[in-house]
């Protein structure tokens, strides 16, 4: 059921997640995330996620009304003009459409492993703090066939607003396991005979084209500045680099992830 509102009182409690968009921890602490833009919100409407509300212009409401009316949950729909949305959120916006939904519960790791299909392909992130990089990495992971994202305790959540936007809503299509101890999580997967492959530019052991991805694997990527921690590297079976020209040190982590993930897919379909 849709509850339509024209915004008169910007202080009403239902609008709180939009007013606090700059305080990312506020939403995640309540188990909520914000989706922005037509494509991302449309993809959200195609999921079974629990959506609390939308904030949009009359134009976008008219465009999405059919999809909205097919939803089963009760949903607040706040309609105003673009300037009203920008004033409320404190941000400029290209497409004046936003939504608030519940972050899906982190799956049980054992059940996630059992439900995934061999050849398994998992992605783990260690210490990634940049939301745009995390979102872009998720988009590549989904595009190249990863079956789950494992988020280390020191990494940015893929459900941070900027990460959701950078993923273009592909984060809705893949399970996200939030690990409280990434070392223990990787050890669990190793016991299940998942091969741990570190994306590590500072190695001379294995070049990407030499690595074998025709088995259950988890590709692990580290922080933008420091790379993978020594503790995580010790969990890995292989340390693999992307060969670079002209003394280039490394790629941005999101770019490196795309190269790694493509190679996994290439080997498995060739």
Can you give the pLDDT of all 270 residues of the chain as single tens digits?
888 887 766 677 778 888 877 665 566 768 999 999 999 999 999 999 999 999 999 999 999 999 999 998 999 999 988 888 888 887 777 789 999 999 999 999 999 999 999 999 999 999 999 999 999 999 999 999 999 999 999 999 999 999 999 999 999 999 999 999 999 999 999 999 999 999 987 767 789 999 999 999 999 999 877 789 999 999 999 999 888 777 766 678 999 999 999 999 999 997
The class (CATH top level) of 2-102 is alpha beta
**Helices 38-45 and 58-69: crossing angle, nearest 10°?**
20
At 84 the pLDDT is: 84
What is the DSSP track for 215-247?
SSEEEEEEBTTTBS-HHHHTT-SEEEE---STT
pTM of the model: 0.91
Tell me, what's the pLDDT at 203? 66
Q: Give the separation between CA 45 and CA 93, rounded to whole angstroms.
A: 20
- Superfamily, domain 109-269: SPOUT methyltransferase, trefoil knot domain (3.40.1280.10)
Predicted pLDDT of residue 137: 98
CATH 3.30.1330.30 domain span(s) along the chain:
2-102
Question: Is the distance from CB of 218 to CB of 261 less than 8 angstroms?
Answer: no
176 beta partners: 149
**3 state SS of 40:** helix
Which helix (H) or strand (E) segment is 79 a member of? strand 75-79
pLDDT for the residue numbered 144:
98
Report which of 247, 242, 207, 210 is spatially closest to residue 227, judged by C-alpha positions: 242
- pLDDT of 172 reads 98
CATH 3.40.1280.10 in the chain is located at: 109-269
Place of tokens 């994306």: 199
pLDDT for 69:
92
Question: What order do you get walking across the sheet with 176-178 strand by strand?
Answer: 176-178, 148-151, 121-126, 217-222, 195-199, 238-241, 206-207
Phi, psi for 101 (deg, rounded to 5)? -140, 165
Q: Which residues contact 207 (CB under 8 A, 6 or more apart)?
A: 240, 241, 242, 243
């Amino acid at each position: 059921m849709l509850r339509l509102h024209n915004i008169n009182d910007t202080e009403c409690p239902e609008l709180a997640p939009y007013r606090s968009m700059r305080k990312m921890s506020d939403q995640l602490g309540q188990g909520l995330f914000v989706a922005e833009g037509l494509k991302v919100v449309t993809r959200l409407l195609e999921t079974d996620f629990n959506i609390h509300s939308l904030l949009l212009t009359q134009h976008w409401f008219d465009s999405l009304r059919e999809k909205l009316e097919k939803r089963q949950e009760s949903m607040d729909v706040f309609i105003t003009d673009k300037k009203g949305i920008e004033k409320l959120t404190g941000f400029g916006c290209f497409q004046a459409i936003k939504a608030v939904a519940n972050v899906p519960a982190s799956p049980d790791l054992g059940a996630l492993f059992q439900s995934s299909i061999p050849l398994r392909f998992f992605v783990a992130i260690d210490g990634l703090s940049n939301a745009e990089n995390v979102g872009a990495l998720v988009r590549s992971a989904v595009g190249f066939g990863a079956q789950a994202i494992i988020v280390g305790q020191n990494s940015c959540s893929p459900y941070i607003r900027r990460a959701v936007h950078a993923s273009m809503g592909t984060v809705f299509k893949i399970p996200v396991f939030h690990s409280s101890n990434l070392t223990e999580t990787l050890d669990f997967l190793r016991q299940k005979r998942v091969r741990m492959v570190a994306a590590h530019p500072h190695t001379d052991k294995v070049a990407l084209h030499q690595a074998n991805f025709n088995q259950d694997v988890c590709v692990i990527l580290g922080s933008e500045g420091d790379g993978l921690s020594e503790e995580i590297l010790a969990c890995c079976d292989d340390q693999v680099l992307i060969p670079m020209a002209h003394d280039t040190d490394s790629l941005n982590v999101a770019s490196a992830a795309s190269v790694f993930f493509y190679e996994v897919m290439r080997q498995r379909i060739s």
